[in-house]
Amino acid sequence: MAITATDWLITSDVAHEAAFRVDLPENDRGKWVLSYLPTNRRLTRDQAMTGMVLAEMIVLDYLHPVGLDQEVAHLHATELGLTLHDVMSLLAMRAPAESAEPDTPGEPADDRLRSASALVHGATLFAA
């Protein structure tokens, strides 16, 4: 578990999330945005770091279930002004969709799941 932080970006090698510093000439200049929160939610650098730590805790518990430290996770979520359930739901919506059955070689891929996943991630889908 490693979080890398610079003056402008905080990333994780476990959770595929990031925090970005806003430097637009506006009132929120110098505030931070977490990739799994709505972009209108502006945070302090400490809150952004807490959000990244919490995302790592949740992802690591999903990958290696040993029991999430609920008390610490709730404290981190509260610092973000959210419940732990809210954070877990937001991260789950951003997780890549996994097909129950892998595509069989030689058969066309079923794009319905990939399309839904793409839409959740903000891609635009056009029907022909």
State residue 36's pLDDT score.
93
DSSP-derived letter for residue 70 is H
Residue 1 has pLDDT above 80, yes or no: no
pLDDT digits (tens, 9 = 90+) for 26-42: 776 789 999 999 988 99
DSSP 31-59: -EEETTS-TT--B-HHHHHHHHHHHHHHH
Residues 93, 16: Cα–Cα separation, whole Å: 13
Paired with 10 in beta bridges are 5, 19
Residues 2, 53: Cα–Cα separation, whole Å: 9
**Mean pLDDT, rounded, for 68-80:** 92
**Mean pLDDT, rounded, for 20-26:** 84
